[in-house]
Structure 1
Amino acid sequence: MKNIVTFAVLLLPFALFSQQKALTEEGKEVVLFDNGTWKFVNESDAKVLETIVTNNDVFEKPKTASFLIKSKKMDVGVYFDPKKWKLATQNISPHVEYFFAERNSNDGYFGFMITEKVQIATLKNLKDLIIENVNRNVDYFRLKESEYRTVNGMKVLYIRYAANTKGMDFEYAGNYSINSDGYAGVVGFASQKVFEQSFGAVQELINGISVTPKEDIKETVEYKSPPPPMISK
C-alpha cells in the first residue's frame, strides 16, 4: 500500500529541480528548465503531447453508482458504486480529498479525488501542468490518450498515461475539470500488469465526476439552558 500511495502523489505539485537535459526511454531528448518546466529538443516530438482530440460521445455515471460524495472545497462530487469501491483512510496530501480502494478482489486498483483552489485558464493548461509534474518525478513517462469529453454534462479533460520509477510500472486514467474556484480530478490507477483488466472499473469511477454543490460544513454549537435567576434576600 505504501508504494501505491507514493505513485498517487506523483500527480501533485512538487519542488522544482535544476535545469538539465535528459533522454526518454524512447530516445527523445528533452530540456528541463529551472522553473520545473520542460520541452522536447526536437519540436516534432512535441506534437504528440500537444494534440487533444474531442470525443463526441456522451459519458455518464453507471446506474450502479448510487453513492455521492461531495468535495468540501468546490462544487464537484463523485458518484461511485459502494459494492465495488470503499473509501480508504490515506493521508496523502491536503489536495487529495478522498482515496478509493477496490472492495471485492485482490487486483489492487485504486482511485482518488483531487481538488485544488488554483486558477487555471484552460484544460490544455491543466494537461501541461499534470505532465510537467509527473515527468519531474518518474524515470519513464508515456502519454497514451488525451481528449476532451462530456461527462455527466461537464466538459472534462480525459488523460491516460503510463509511468515508471524505481522499476515499478503503473498506469493512470482520469477525468479533470476546471471552474472559477480551481480544478478537480477523479483518477484511477493500478500496476500496469492489472490495469487493463481493471480498466472497466476505473472508467466507472472516473465517470462519476459530477457538478454538485460542495458539502455544507456546519459548525456545531452546543446550547445550554440559562441558569435560574438569583433571588434577592
Structure 2
Amino acid sequence: MKKLFTNNPTEIAEEINSLITNKGALVCAKGGTSDKMKKLPLVAKSKSSAGDLMVILHPDHPCDSDKCSFYYATAGAPLRYFEAARVKKAKQFLGLQYPTEIYNVFRRKSPRVQTARKSTITFSILHKQRVYSGKVVDISLNGAQLSIDLPAQLSTGDTLCALSFILCSRLLADYEETITLAEAKIVWIQTEEERNHTLGINFEPDDNARDALENYINLRKIEDPKDFAT
C-alpha cells in the first residue's frame, strides 16, 4: 500500500539531495532482476536542460524504459517509492530527473478486509483522558484504516490507547465481534477537513484479539470475497 509523502518540489529536492549527500542507494522496482542489479548507488547531482538530475551508478541497469521506478529506505522513515524519467545514459552512469511525487510504502504483515455496515472504534490518545470514536474502514491482523471526526491534532507516530473495535457482518444482522487492544501507532494520516481525519494504524494483538480478528477476517472473506484485499 502506498500513500503520498510529498509532491512539493522543494521537499522533493531536499529529500533527493539528502539521499545523494548521505550516499544512499536506490532499488530498481522492476521484477525479475537480481539483487545485485537492483541496488544502484546515488553518486552525484547534475544539471541538464530538463532541470536537476540525480546520477546513479548502473553497471548493468535493468530498466530499459524511459521512466524508471525505484524504492529507497532511510533511517526512521517508511520505505519510499518514486518514478523518474531517464534523461542521460553514459557508460557506468545514468541521469534521472527528480521525481514529481514521492510515496510512502507500507508493507502489510497480513491481508486486509473491508469492514461491513457500521463497524466502529473507540479510543483515547496517549496522556489524554477523553474518549473518541470513529468508523473502521478496513482491518487486518496487524492494522486498520479509520475515519474519525475530532478536533485534536494528530501526527504520524502518535499512540492511541484503550482501543475497542466493534466489527459488524454484512449478512448477519446481530453479529458483532468486539476486540480490545492496549495501544496502536499511527503510521499515516490524511486530514481532509479541519476535523475529519483518515488514518492508518499498526498494532500487535494479544492471542485473544488475534483469534477474534482471524474469525472476523474469515467471515468477511466468505461474505464478500471481492473485498478481500491482499
TM over 0.5: no
Q: So what's the TM-score if we normalise by structure 2?
A: 0.23
Q: So what's the TM-score if we normalise by structure 1?
A: 0.22
Q: Which has the higher contact order (CA 8 A, sep 6+)?
A: 1
More strand by share: 2
